[in-house]
Structure formats: C-alpha cells, structure tokens
C-alpha cells in the first residue's frame, strides 16, 4: 500500500471531503480575525486603498422606478409615434398590460439649463438651477424588472437578497469619523421600499455595518431616551459590568465574537442617547436654510427634512446616508404621479446641493440619485384610456453630484426611443465599483471571507466607469 502523498493530494482531499469544512472555517477565522485585529473598534476610521475623491456619500433612492424619458432623457422621436402600435421583440420583458401596446410620448416639456445645457423636465424647476453641478448618466442597465429583486440588486449587488448593502461595504472599508453614531444611516419613508430592510442589511458582514434606519414619524429611534428612574450613571455601571464579564468570556472562547459585538452595540446605543437628539433637532437651523430645502411647505416638508438631516449627519462624520422617496411606480399615471414625485424631491435636492456647496462640503460628498430601473417608451391601455410606461431594466435615469464626478455633463445615451442604453452602457456592478472607487476603495481588495470564499460587492468583479469621473 502506497502511503506517499503529495501536497496536491492533500489539497485535493480537503476539497473532496468533510475536511474542506474545517479548512474553510480556519481560513475564515484567520482572515476575519486578522481584519478585526487591525483596529480596536470595527468602526474606527480606516485608510482608503487610494486617494479618495469623496469622504462620504448621500444616496437618494427613488423607489418604484422613475422614468428617464420623462426626467433627464427627452425623446422627441416618441412624439411622432405616439399611440402607434408597438410590438415587443423581447418576450421576457415586462408585460403587465394585456392586449396591444402603444408608443407614448412624454407629457412634459423639457428645457436646457446652466452653462452645460443639460436637459431637465419642466417639473425640476429648482434642480435645473444647479445643473452645472450634476453629472447625468444614461448608460446604467439593471437585470430585473421586479421591484424587490431590482431593489436588492441596486442596493446590494445581488438580486436574491441576503447580501451586504453598498453602505455596509463602505462602512466596512472605511469605518466612520464619528464613534458616537452608526456609520451607515437610512432615512426611509413610513412605508419601506419593496424588499424591506434587506435593502440596507449587513448581510454576512458583522452587524456593526448594517444600516440604521431613523423612523419617519415619532421618535426616530425607539428607546432613544432611558426609562424613567434609570440614570446615565446607572447605565454606565451596567455596561462596565458587562465589559468585565465579556473579557472573562473571551479568555475561554477567543473565537466567539458575538458577545463582544453585542456589547459594542450597547456602548454605541449609550453614546447615541447623548448625541442623536441634538443632531436630529432641526429647530436650530436658520429660517433661510429651512426655506432653501422646502421645510414647512406641504408638498416638500417630509423629504426636505430628510435631506437637511442628511447634511447634518454627513457634517458629523457619518460615512453613508441613504434617503428614500417612494411612489415612482406610475404606470398609467405618468403625467399625474411623476409630476407630483418630481415636485416633492425637486427643491429639497437642489437645496441640499446648494447648502453643501455653500459650506464647502460638496467636493467631499458624493451624491447619487437613482431608482431600481427605468421605464419603457410604451405601455398598454389599462382601465380605460390612460396610457403610461412599464418597467425597463435596460435604460434608467441617474445623476451624480460632488465627490469628483464629471459635473456639467451627460454621460452615455439611450437609443432614439429610450428603450435601452447604447453608449457607455454598463451593468450595476460597474456602477458599484465606481462608487467605491470615488470613495477611495478598490472593489477587488474590499473582500470578506464567507461561505468558503472571499466575497465582494460586485460579486464577480467589475470596471470603473471612467467617463463619470472628473
């Protein structure tokens, strides 16, 4: 019997037997323990992979899928074909309307704004005043036409959910400059987007990196104030006792990090009780600043407050803030619904960009505006004579501001009818790689060992969209 084995035999055996489980576990423990050892706190500031264009990010997410044809990508050719029959070639494309389909022209007028002459829908009256700060991108292409999977894809790089969100990866890669607040904060509406909290989940990354949502109504965070009769000194003593117990636990269970993570979350919650109330209080903002955002105006108040809060959070060193605005799934009601949604976000976003510029913060802050997909140049009639647009993964609206982007330019293009991107067309993974790059992170280096392999935001790697960068 031959007992001679080569190194190749050993590695092959590990991959073919239960040994691979133990081997991968050792790799995972070593890799992640090494990462933890780099810093005493998982959210401590970390050096970027290269010189960043931006230090933080504000992600303005328009849930429901805004139409590029009716926002920043006018298509005059549709007017000539309005209500003419359209036959889909792609049988897998969305077909929510039965019967015949028709081309639909935009019900809105467009105007060019700024020195750049970028096109804006008439309802972006305020946003057009900051046209030269925007970089409009028309080349991004998604892969799903269903809201939950498309939301997961845009937010996490995977259509299936359970993966870390973009903000989680940024927090994991850079930490935060403010140890008294979470690194990744989400400002949702009362109704969460389709897919729910999984859109800002930490996935398989440690819990420190998950998005922390601030509620749209009532107390932004439950239990923000301690119970009656419990003083801060008592809370501090309780946490100190837990810390002592945790140290004893770590001596006998050095690889079990769950208790340490929970203790750190308690410590963060304790610090947040002292810091959050002042930050979320907008009363100290000047009347001029509130008016700039549209605070107090019936149509814009809710989103305006979230935009103003986003600026305050970034000002406090928060690394990644994501805001949601829903209701963009208009279908047959493009003229009525899209017009309203644009008016809701128009003044607050323009105010945010102007405020950041005035404070010298725009160059260090990357602003992203997009939804989960775009809309088609056609739709069938549903429920009468109303016509609108369906879901479209091959073309979508998107713009950037600040953070080293190519301001005052429209990058890429869609075809004559707006059905799909045809120039500077890139998948979502390239968008994610570009976002990380602007923040000083290399997607190929920003990895985490999980499930037997090193994983990354782009899933399989991607390319930086160089045309978007100044």
Give the per-residue pLDDT at 454.
96
> What would the pLDDT profile of 344-377 be if each residue is shown by its tens digit?
999 999 999 999 999 999 999 999 999 999 999 9
**Residue 150 domain-assigned (yes or no):** yes
Among the listed ranges 67-76, 248-257, 461-470, which one has the minimum average pLDDT value? Answer: 248-257
**Residue 251 domain-assigned (yes or no):** no
CB 22 within 8 A of CB 28: no
pLDDT band at 461 (very low <50, low <70, confident <90, very high): very high
> For residue 302, what is the domain's CATH number?
3.40.720.10
Q: Which residue has the higher pLDDT, 281 or 324?
A: 324
CB 374 within 8 A of CB 65: yes
Q: What does the block give as tokens for 430?
A: 């390239």
Entry pTM: 0.84
- Alpha carbons 123 and 118: distance in angstroms, whole number: 14
| Residue 292: φ, ψ to 5° | -60, -40
**Residue 153 domain-assigned (yes or no):** yes
Among the listed ranges 210-214, 226-230, 356-360, 425-429, which one has the minimum average pLDDT value? Answer: 226-230
User: What is the enclosing helix (H) or strand (E) of 234?
Assistant: helix 232-252
**Residue 246 domain-assigned (yes or no):** no
Torsion 82-85-89-91 (CA) sign: positive
pLDDT of residue 39 exceeding 50, the answer is no
**Residue 341 domain-assigned (yes or no):** yes
For residue 165, the 8-state DSSP code is P
Residue 101, strand partner residues: 86, 380
Query: How many structural domains compose the chain?
Result: 1
Among the listed ranges 222-226, 308-312, 370-374, which one has the minimum average pLDDT value? Answer: 222-226
**Residue 269 domain-assigned (yes or no):** no
- Alpha carbons 70 and 30: distance in angstroms, whole number: 51
Which positions ≥6 away from 47 have C-beta within 8 Å?
none
Sheet hosting strand 320-325, strand order edge to edge: 212-213, 184-187, 320-325, 56-62, 365-370, 398-401, 134-137, 409-411
> What would the pLDDT profile of 16-35 be if each residue is shown by its tens digit?
444 433 444 344 444 454 55
Q: What percent of the chain has pLDDT over 90?
A: 64
Give the per-residue pLDDT at 398.
98
**Nearest to residue 403, comparing CAs of 352, 445, 363, 431?**
363
Other CB atoms within a 10 A radius of the CB of residue 461 amount to 11
**Residue 35 domain-assigned (yes or no):** no
**Nearest to residue 182, comparing CAs of 286, 318, 41?**
318
Average pLDDT, the chain: 85
**Residue 20 domain-assigned (yes or no):** no
Q: Are strands 391-392 and 421-423 parallel, antiparallel or unpaired?
A: unpaired
For residue 359, the enclosing domain spans 41-225+280-468
Q: Which residue has the higher pLDDT, 128 or 30?
A: 128
| Residue 5, Cβ density class (10 Å: 0-12 exposed, 13-18 middle, ≥19 buried) | exposed
User: What is the enclosing helix (H) or strand (E) of 119?
Assistant: strand 118-121
> What would the pLDDT profile of 390-448 be if each residue is shown by its tens digit?
899 999 999 999 999 999 999 999 999 999 999 999 999 999 999 999 999 999 999 99
């Amino acid at each position: 019997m031959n007992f001679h084995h080569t190194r190749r035999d050993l590695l092959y055996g590990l991959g073919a037997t239960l040994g691979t489980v133990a081997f991968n576990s050792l790799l995972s423990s070593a890799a992640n323990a090494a990462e933890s050892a780099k810093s005493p706190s998982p959210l401590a500031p970390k050096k970027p992979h290269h010189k960043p264009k931006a230090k933080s990010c504000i992600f303005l997410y328009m849930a429901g899928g805004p139409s590029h044809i009716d926002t920043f990508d006018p298509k005059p050719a549709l007017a000539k074909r309005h209500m003419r029959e359209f036959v889909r070639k792609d049988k897998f494309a969305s077909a929510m309307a039965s019967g015949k389909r028709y081309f639909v022209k935009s019900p809105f007028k467009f105007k060019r704004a700024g020195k750049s002459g970028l096109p804006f829908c008439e309802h972006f009256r305020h946003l057009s005043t900051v046209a030269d700060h925007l970089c409009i991108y028309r080349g991004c292409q998604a892969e799903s036409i269903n809201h939950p999977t498309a939301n997961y894809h845009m937010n996490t790089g995977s259509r299936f959910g359970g993966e870390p969100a973009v903000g989680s990866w940024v927090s994991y890669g850079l930490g935060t400059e403010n140890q008294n607040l979470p690194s990744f904060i989400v400002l949702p509406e009362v109704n969460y987007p389709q897919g729910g909290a999984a859109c800002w989940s930490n996935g398989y990354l440690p819990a420190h990196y998950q998005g922390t949502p601030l509620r749209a109504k009532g107390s932004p965070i439950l239990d923000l104030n301690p119970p009656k009769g419990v003083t801060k000194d008592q809370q501090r003593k309780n946490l100190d006792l837990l810390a002592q117990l945790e140290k004893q636990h770590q001596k006998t269970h050095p690889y079990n990090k769950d208790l340490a993570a929970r203790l750190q979350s308690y410590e963060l919650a304790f610090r947040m009780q002292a810091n959050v109330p002042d930050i979320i209080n907008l009363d100290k903002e000047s009347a001029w600043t509130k008016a700039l955002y549209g605070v107090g105006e019936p149509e814009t108040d809710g989103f305006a407050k979230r935009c103003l809060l986003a600026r305050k959070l970034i000002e406090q060193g928060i690394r990644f803030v994501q805001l949601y605005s829903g209701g963009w799934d208009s279908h047959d009601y493009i003229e009525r619904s899209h017009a309203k949604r644009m008016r809701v976000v128009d003044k607050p976003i323009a105010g945010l960009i102007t405020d950041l510029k005035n404070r010298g913060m725009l160059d260090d802050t990357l602003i992203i505006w997009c939804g989960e997909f775009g809309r088609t140049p056609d739709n069938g009639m549903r429920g009468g004579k109303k016509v609108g647009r369906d879901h479209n993964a091959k073309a979508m609206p998107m713009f950037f501001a600040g953070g080293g982007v190519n301001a005052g330019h429209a990058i890429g293009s869609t075809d004559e009818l707006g059905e799909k991107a045809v120039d500077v067309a890139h998948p979502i993974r390239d968008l994610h790689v570009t976002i990380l790059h602007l923040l000083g992170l290399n997607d190929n280096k920003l990895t985490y060992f999980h499930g037997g392999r090193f994983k990354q935001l782009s899933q399989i790697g991607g390319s930086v969209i160089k045309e978007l960068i100044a």
